[in-house]
Amino acid sequence: MPRNNPLVLAIAGFGTVGSGLLKVIKENREAILARTGREIVVKSVLVRDLSKPRAADLPEGTILTDDPKVLVNDPEVDVLVELIGGIAAAKTLIADAIKAGKHIVTANKALLAEDGHDLFALAEEHNVHLTYEASVCGAIPILDSLKQNLAGNQVQSLVGILNGTANYILSEMTTKQLDFDTALKAAQELGFAEADPTLDIEGFDAAHKLCLLTRLAFGVEYPFKDLPVVGVSKIHPKDIEFAREFGYRVKLLGQVRNVDGKIEAGVFPMLVHHTLLIARVGGAYNAVRLEGNACGPIFMHGQGAGDLATASAVMGDILTIARGANPNNTGYVKQVPPLADILAPEDATSKYYFRVMVKDVPGVLRDLAGSLAEEDISIAQAIQKDGTETTAAVVFLTHEARAEAVHKAVEGMKEKGLVLEEPVFYRIL
């Protein structure tokens, strides 16, 4: 592509992000020209329903179509911007566009996390860009940072608030003492949560993003189906309150780290000490903290979703292509990385928070401590909170313990008849 020619786009999907992208292209035209020397032209937009009213007007001359072939077969189109979501249809569209020699910009984390191998290999075969900055953390430029500026590091650990919906819900539960259902309803009314919020509140959206971050940070594939995932739908206001008494906040975190050459990763609700920056990230914002052997700790914070925030990330990828950069789709020479040497989830170690509802009788704390001691788990702090006249909540924090030992200790408490309901336990960052 001659650098002085316009860069011609075809956009698949004209929802929130697609409308935001058109707005950014129009409003930032002069800045784009100054940075690339090229106009950005949107030639066609793919939609499912041609009769549906649109939130934004198309640029003059832009074609609105419901036929994917119009985008794929047009020789003037340089870049396909995929914003339709889903897996099967999006994969077919992207693959056809790559075979037609078009560069790809996508925000589709589910597709790339669950089924991206073939597309990365195909992009390498055709020497085209397959870029996806908008798929993780919205406007935060974490993916390009891992591929470029931090590429000289050995990343040791990465942890992040990767889903704004879950973070908004937990923030509301923390600051307003709401229960989960009330906080979820508020998130839906504000447009932070979908009518079916399962992907967000059960941790799957964050898990998709963590798979992509793991690829870029460690150069290995951690299969999505093998990733441990726990969501926030069962978090009780009591645990948020008790965590605060110990100086912690409850956050849904995606975490990956190198443990003696093995990769440990997962998405979990975790207690984070209030002195850490990531504990202070409120509302629908995202944040990522990583540590490299050369750069040390780095913290990024910003809007994780929304029309303009996501369009900003999409635009960054488009400008990379407009400048004529060579494809650097995975950050590594191998476009399809090797499988990770995975640390078995039961061998993962962490400090833990426990809340156990018990009969308020003499010796109960001793017996609970005994169940932990049987699994070599030691208590760091403990408090007993009043429940009813005959019950109490025993809350304690532990030193480092193996996940398998924690589960065995819980089963031991239940078998001995020490608990009145299912014990609650969360990791501590």
Tell me the C-alpha distance between 317 and 72, whole Å.
Answer: 19
Q: Roughly what angle, to the nearest 10 degrees, separates helices 88-99 and 117-126?
A: 10
Say whether 18 counts as a known binding-site residue: yes
Say whether 238 counts as a known binding-site residue: no
Tell me the C-alpha distance between 141 and 133, whole Å.
Answer: 7
Instruction: Give the DSSP per-residue string, 277-342.
Output: GGGG--TTEEEEEEEETTTEEEEEEEE-SSHHHHHHHHHHHHHHHHTTPPP-SSSSS-SSPPBP-B
Say whether 121 counts as a known binding-site residue: no
Structure tokens at 7: 């860069």
Say whether 194 counts as a known binding-site residue: yes
What sign does the dihedral 288-279-110-79 (CA atoms) show? Answer: negative
Among residues 43, 91, 102, 209, the one annotated as catalytic is 209
Say whether 19 counts as a known binding-site residue: yes
Query: Does the active-site annotation cover 23?
Result: no
Helices (H), 9-87: 16-27, 29-36, 68-72
Say whether 14 counts as a known binding-site residue: yes
Q: Give me the phi and psi of 282, to 5 degrees please.
A: -110, 175
Say whether 109 counts as a known binding-site residue: yes
Say whether 371 counts as a known binding-site residue: no
Say whether 16 counts as a known binding-site residue: yes
CB atoms inside a 10 Å sphere around CB 172: 22
Structure tokens at 423: 């014990």
Structure tokens at 267: 């998405």
- CB contact at 8 A, 83 and 107: yes
- CB contact at 8 A, 101 and 31: no
Say whether 324 counts as a known binding-site residue: no
Which residues are catalytic, by number?
209
Q: Which positions make up the binding site for L-homoserine?
A: 194
Q: Which positions make up the binding site for NADPH?
A: 109
Q: Which positions make up the binding site?
A: 12-19, 109, 194
